[in-house]
Copies of this chain bind each other. A is one copy, B any other.
Amino acid sequence: MSKPTMSKPTPSQTAFVPFVSVDNMMRLVHSLGIEEMLKGLAAYIEEDFRRWELFDKTPRVASHSKVGVIELMPASDGEAYAFKYVNGHPKNTREGLQTVTAFGLIADVYTGYPVLLTEMTLLTALRTAATSAMVARVLAPEGARTMAMIGNGAQSEFQATAFRVLCGVDTLRLYDVDPSATGKVVRNLSGEGFDLTICRSPEEATEGAQIITTCTADKQLATILTDNMVGTGIHINAIGGDCPGKTELHRDILMRSDVFVEYAPQTRVEGEIQQMPDDFPVTEMWEVIIGAKPGRASQSQITLFDGVGFAIEDFSALRFVRDRIGETDFFQNLDMLADPDDPRDLFGMLRRAR
């Protein structure tokens, strides 16, 4: 530890917290390649799902208002502690702002000192997609290559890319109530190795698809998918229903499906299964991944991932970024922690700065 001088206090190394800005996160993604980033995130998330029982888990701490929610999502494995700050304001889009913005931090449990602060709007989009694809790799029918995407907002291209990289999906059937959203996806994904079809209804989108991804953003009880649209043997990746009062699927679909979740206590409040009784049977994905519970048992079964986003996925993503930025210059050091020469002499440090 370098020591601050008496005359002009300068922060020591421990006083600095590396910070990854949005710009640096984009540089990190492109230096690794988005495919490698998604694979890496999926591997870290799977690794943390495998040691699920080890984590100190709490449902997120939410502060609700009439227009949205602000949440803190903490998780710890006993060595590292991480949390994410994330808002959810569906009305923001109409005002030219993001529905969801996020940042996060990872700290050393032994000292309590933060070791990384980072933007997480982009990182959340990437980890959400990596989680969905990691789950689909386990649950989707074998050889699935066609995916319906209902809802073509900010998350959709990330989902599509993760499913291409991790599951081999190469055909997308796109639908959104707003055709300009679909146009945006087509622009962004042209030349990225997909066969793209623009559909005029959700029904048309689901035709011939082995995987259906629903990711719409409105905060309401919607019915994006009705029972007649869902054939046997498919996998549904439902990620838009992610807070109380926001669902996308008709309950009849839930009745016919085997439902897989991240963390049941949270999903029963926030997910599609908020429509169902408290004892509605679900399987937590970590149990499938460690082999304690079955995943897909037959080609005719409907599997449904009721994804809401859990703190451990953010923990994994923060761990991934922490492990990758060390050798790069994709961060700046923030003088965030007061670190006087003598730890008891905080006042002296302040006084000498005068």
Contacts and interface: CB of A to CB of B under 8 A. Distances in A.
A97 interface: yes
Contacts of A93: 343-344
How many identical chains are in the complex? 2
A311 to B, nearest CB: 11
A97 B347 contact: no
Instruction: Give chain A's interface secondary structure class.
Output: mixed
A92 B224 CA distance: 53
Contacts of A354: 30
Contacts of A342: 184
A83 B67 CA distance: 19
Given A11-B23, A72-B74, A154 B109 contact: no
A61 interface: yes
Interface string A323-354: 00000000000111111101111111111011
Interface string A78-119: 100101010111001101111101010101011111100001
A351 B158 CA distance: 11
* Among A70, A161, A345, A353, residue most surrounded by chain B Cβ atoms (within 10 Å): A70
B14 A97 contact: yes
Contacts of A26: 9, 349-350, 353
A274 interface: no
A173 B72 CA distance: 43
A344 B111 contact: no
Interface string A49-87: 000000010100101010111101010101001010101
A329 to B, nearest CB: 15
Contact of A30 (B68, B95, B353): B353
Interface of A: 1, 9, 11, 14-15, 19, 21-23, 26-27, 29-30, 34, 56, 58, 61, 63, 65, 67-70, 72, 74, 76, 78, 81, 83, 85, 87-89, 92-93, 95-99, 101, 103, 105, 107, 109-114, 119, 121-122, 125, 152-158, 161, 181, 184, 187-188, 334-340, 342-351, 353-354
22 contacts: A11-B22, A14-B97, A21-B336, A22-B337, A22-B339, A23-B353, A27-B353, A30-B354, A61-B72, A65-B110, A67-B109, A87-B111, A88-B112, A93-B343, A96-B343, A97-B339, A101-B338, A101-B339, A103-B336, A119-B335, A119-B337, A184-B348
Closest 9 CB pairs between A and B? A87-B112, A157-B347, A121-B338, A21-B335, A26-B353, A154-B346, A89-B112, A101-B337, A22-B338
